[in-house]
Amino acid sequence: MTARLTPLVLSALTVGAWGLVLGVLSGRAELVVVVLPLLFGLLRIGGTGASRGWSLARVLSAPRVFEGERVTVTVTVSAGHRVPLLELFEPLPPTLRLVSGHNRGLFTLRPGRSVEWRYEVECVRRGRVNLGTVHARLWDRAGLEAAETSVRLPGQLSVYPRPLPLRRLPGPRRMQAFVGNYVAPSLGEGLEPGDIRAFVPGDRVRHVNWRASLRFGQLFVTQYHQERNADVVLMLDTLAEAGAAPDTTLDASIRAAAALATGYLARKDRVGLLEYCGPFRWVRPSSGRAHHERLFEALLRADVMFSYVTQEVALVPRRVLPPQALVVAISPLIDPRFEKALVDLAGRGFDLVVLSPSPIVLARRATRPSARADLACRLWALERRARADALERLGITIVDWDPAEPLEAALSGSSASRRRGAVR
Amino acid sequence: MRRLAAVLSVVLVGYPLLVVSSTAVLALGAAALSLCALGILVAPPVLVGGMVLALGEYTLALWLADGPPRLAGAALLGVVLVLLLETADFGRRAHRATIGPGLFAAQLRSWAVVAALTGMGAWAAGAGASVASAAVRLPWAPAIAAAGVAVTLVAVALALSVRRLPPRD
C-alpha cells in the first residue's frame, strides 16, 4: 500500500502562494498571517501511519436468490491498529441494483475494534455474480495523503431466473412408461375409468362394475386408464436476442423455461434442456429436486454467444432428445438457423410446441419512439407473422407471447389449438 | 458537512466586510461566495477559485481601510481557510457514503485541534514578526519580503516533491 499526496495539497499550496503574493504586493502583514495556518497544516503530511492494520470480512444474507429478490451485504471491518479514516468502495455489477444503504463507506477505527457496514441490493438479472473486490483508501485525518489497495473477498451470489406463475402447461401427445399425472390411452392400473368388459378369471373383485353386472345378468369389470409421465425437452434459442437487459428476449425465454421446468417437474415428468447456440449444450431429461437445481444452474449460464459452428439436430443423442418427447422450443425466431432446426425436428416427428417471446415489444421499449421505428416494427411484425405461418403450415404449434403479458394467457390459447390439432 | 463548509465560506467572505463595507468589496465577496458554494457542491478547483477571490476581497478591504495590522483577525481567517478546504473535501468524500460510528466526532475533534494549533501558531508568528519589525529596520523591506515568499514557496514545493514516503504494507 503506497501513500500519495492528494489534490488537496495542491489546493492549499495554491491558496497559500496567492496569499503570500498578495501580501508582498499590498505590503500588508495580515495576508501573510492568513496563509500561515495553511502552510502549518501541510506539516501534518506523513505524520499518520498508513499501515495495513485492518481486515475485512463479507457475509451475504443469502448466497442463492431469484431475480427480483433482495440481498443484504454485510462487511465487517476490524482494526489491529488505529485507523484514522478508511474509505471502502464495492463496485456493483450491472445485474445488481442498490436499494438501501450505500456501497461506499467511511470509517474510523480504534485498535481492536470492528465496525459493521450493511447495504441492500436487488438482483435485477439472473447470473452468477461475484462481488469480489473491495477497494480501500486509507486517508489521514486532513485528507492530505491517501494510500490505496484492493482486497479480494469471497462473495459469490447465484441469481436464478424468476419462474413465472404457470398452472396450465402444453400437454404431451405421447406418454412414457413411468407413473405420472397424465391419463394415457392405454388401459391398466389407474384412477380414471375407461371401458367396461366381461369378467374373466383373474380379474380383481373390486373392479367389478355392479351396476352393469346387474343390468346384463353377468359380471362386468371396469377398466382404467393408466397414468403416465412424459419426457419434455425445453429447447432454448441462445443464438440471438433483442431488447435491453434485464428485459431481453433471452431473459424472457429463460424465465419461461424456468417456469415450464418447474411446472413439468411438479407433474413428475422428466425434463431436459437443450441450449442451441450454434453448437448444442444440454442437460439430459430426468426428474426430482436435484434435477430441478441442475436445470436452474444450466439456465443461469445460458447466454448469447456468437459462434460460426452450426450443428444439426441429428447430432443430439437419443438420451438427450428421446423420440417420444414433447419438445418445447423457446425462441424469438430471430435467427434462421433455429427455424431450420425446428423444421428438422418437425420432420423427425417430434411433438413440437414453439413458444416465441415477441422481440418487437422489447426492442421497441429499448429504442426511442419515432415514426421510422414504428414503421420498422410494423414491417418486422409482418415478416415475423409470415415466418410463423410458414412453420404452422408444417404442423408446428407457434405460441406468440408478449413478455409484458402473463405466460399463462399465451399458453392457454395454445392448449386449445393443440387439442383441435389432436382431434384432426 | 457541506453545511459546515457553507457556513465557513460565509465567514470567509463576510469578514472583509467587517473590515470595511464598500460596494466593491461586497461585489467581490458575492462573486467569491457563489464560487465557493459552487465549489462545495461540484468540484474542489472551483472552491479554490472562490477562496482566491475571497483573498482578493480581503486585500481590497485592507487596502481601503488602511489601518493598523489586525493580526488576530487574520489568524482567524487563516484558520477558516484551512477548515473550509478540509471540510469541503471531507464533505465530497462523505457524500453518498455510509458514515461509520464516531467518525464525525473524531473528525470534528481533529479539526478543533488543527484550528487551535495553526491559529495560535499563525498569531504567534505574526506577533513575533511585529515585535521584530519594530526592533529591526531593514532596508529594501519589500524586496526582502518578496524573496522570503519565493524561498518559502520553493522550500515547501521541494519538501513535498522530495519527500519519499516509505512503502507501507
> What's the maximum distance between 2 C-alpha atoms anywhere in chain B?
58
Cα–Cα distance measured from residue A137 to residue A159, given in angstroms and rounded to the nearest whole number: 30
* CB atoms B156 and A16 under 8 Å: yes
With 80 as the cut, is the pLDDT of residue A181 above it?
A: no
Is the separation of the CB atoms in A229 and A268 below 8 Å? yes
Chain A residues 128-187 with a CB less than 8 Å from chain B: 139, 141-143, 145, 147, 149
Cα–Cα distance measured from residue A251 to residue A160, given in angstroms and rounded to the nearest whole number: 11
User: Which stretches of B20-140 are DSSP H helices?
Assistant: 23-41, 44-65, 71-94, 103-135
* CB atoms B101 and A115 under 8 Å: yes
Question: Under CATH, to which class is A231-423 assigned?
Answer: alpha beta
Per-residue model confidence (pLDDT) at position B131: 81
- ipTM of this complex prediction, to 2 decimal places: 0.87
Does B158 or A8 have the greater pLDDT score?
A8
Instruction: Sort out which chain A residues have CB atoms less than 8 A from B69's CB and list them.
Output: 28-30
Per-residue model confidence (pLDDT) at position B167: 47
Which of B85, B130, B144 should be substituted to probe chain A, the one whose Cβ sees the most A Cβ atoms within 10 Å?
B85
Backbone phi and psi for residue A96, each to the nearest 5 degrees, phi listed first: -115, 145
What band does A88 get if pLDDT is binned at 50, 70 and 90? very high
Chain A residues 24-63 with a CB less than 8 Å from chain B: 24, 26-42, 44-46, 49-52
Where in chain A are all domains bearing CATH 3.40.50?
A: 231-423
What band does A49 get if pLDDT is binned at 50, 70 and 90? low
Instruction: Sort out which chain B residues have CB atoms less than 8 A from A6's CB and list them.
Output: 89
Among residues B38, B152, B97, B55, the alpha carbon closest in space to that of A34 is found at: B55
Does A45 or A383 have the greater pLDDT score?
A383
Enclosing H/E stretch for A250: helix A249-266
Where in chain A are all domains bearing CATH 2.60.40.10?
A: 54-160
Does A188 or B121 have the greater pLDDT score?
B121
With 90 as the cut, is the pLDDT of residue A132 above it?
A: no
Mean pLDDT in residue range A243-247: 84
Q: How far is CA A388 from the centre of its chain?
A: 27
Q: Which residues contact B41 (CB under 8 A, 6 or more apart)?
A: B2
Is the separation of the CB atoms in A327 and A351 below 8 Å? yes
Does A29 or B33 have the greater pLDDT score?
B33
Indicate the residue type of A26: S
Query: What DSSP designation does A313 have?
Result: G
Mean pLDDT in residue range A339-366: 90
SS3 A221: strand
Per-residue model confidence (pLDDT) at position A72: 94
* CB atoms B163 and A104 under 8 Å: no
Query: What DSSP designation does A52 have?
Result: -
At A394-410, the pLDDT tens digits run 888 899 999 888 888 88
Enclosing H/E stretch for A105: strand A104-109
Cα–Cα distance measured from residue A389 to residue A397, given in angstroms and rounded to the nearest whole number: 10
A54-160: CATH, from 2.60.40.10, 2.40.10.10, 3.40.50.300, 2.170.130.10? 2.60.40.10
Query: What DSSP designation does B96 have?
Result: T
Chain A residues 70-109 with a CB less than 8 Å from chain B: 77, 84-85, 87, 101-102, 104-109
Is the separation of the CB atoms in B70 and B19 below 8 Å? yes
With 60 as the cut, is the pLDDT of residue A119 above it?
A: yes
Is the separation of the CB atoms in A148 and A1 below 8 Å? yes
SS3 B118: helix
What band does A415 get if pLDDT is binned at 50, 70 and 90? low
Is the separation of the CB atoms in B127 and B71 below 8 Å? yes
This prediction's pTM: 0.76
What band does A423 get if pLDDT is binned at 50, 70 and 90? very low
Does A163 or A405 have the greater pLDDT score?
A405
Low-confidence ranges of chain B (pLDDT < 70): 138-141, 160-169
Instruction: Sort out which chain A residues have CB atoms less than 8 A from B98's CB and list them.
Output: 101-102, 104-106, 117-119
* CB atoms A30 and B62 under 8 Å: yes
A64-78, A162-176, B97-111: the lowest-pLDDT one: A162-176
Mean pLDDT in residue range A232-254: 90
Cα–Cα distance measured from residue B153 to residue B156, given in angstroms and rounded to the nearest whole number: 5
Per-residue model confidence (pLDDT) at position B84: 93
Question: Which of A9, A50, A141 has its CB closest to that of B160?
Answer: A9
Cα→Cα distances A123→A103, A120, A155, A297, Å: 15, 10, 14, 16
Closest alpha carbon within chain B to A17: B153
With 60 as the cut, is the pLDDT of residue A419 above it?
A: no
Closest alpha carbon within chain A to B116: A37
> ∠A118-A83-A41 over CA atoms, to 5°?
120
Q: Is the peptide bond before A165 cis (omega within 30 degrees of 0)?
A: no
Q: Minimal Cα–Cα distance from B33 to chain A, Å?
A: 16
Enclosing H/E stretch for A272: strand A270-276
With 70 as the cut, is the pLDDT of residue A173 above it?
A: yes
Which of B59, B87, B104 should be substituted to probe chain A, the one whose Cβ sees the most A Cβ atoms within 10 Å?
B59
Per-residue model confidence (pLDDT) at position B8: 93
Per-residue model confidence (pLDDT) at position A424: 35
With 50 as the cut, is the pLDDT of residue A209 above it?
A: yes
Q: How far is CA B152 from the centre of its chain?
A: 17
Does B166 or A291 have the greater pLDDT score?
A291
Question: Which of B86, B96, B165 has its CB closest to that of A143?
Answer: B86
Q: Minimal Cα–Cα distance from B118 to chain A, Å?
A: 5
With 90 as the cut, is the pLDDT of residue A162 above it?
A: no
Where in chain B are the domains? 2-163
Instruction: Sort out which chain A residues have CB atoms less than 8 A from B168's CB and list them.
Output: 1-3, 49-52, 147
With 70 as the cut, is the pLDDT of residue A416 above it?
A: no
* CB atoms B156 and A31 under 8 Å: no
Per-residue model confidence (pLDDT) at position A295: 94
Mean pLDDT in residue range A357-376: 90
Counting one residue from A and one from B, how many pairs have CB atoms under 8 Å apart?
198
* CB atoms A8 and B44 under 8 Å: yes
Q: Which three cell numbers stand for residue B83?
A: 477548515
* CB atoms A106 and B98 under 8 Å: yes
* CB atoms A107 and B100 under 8 Å: yes
The dihedral built from the CA positions of residue A371, A375, A376 and A381, taken in this order, carries a sign that is: positive
> ∠A21-A27-A29 over CA atoms, to 5°?
85
Does A189 or A420 have the greater pLDDT score?
A189
Q: Minimal Cα–Cα distance from B85 to chain A, Å?
A: 8
* CB atoms B75 and A35 under 8 Å: no
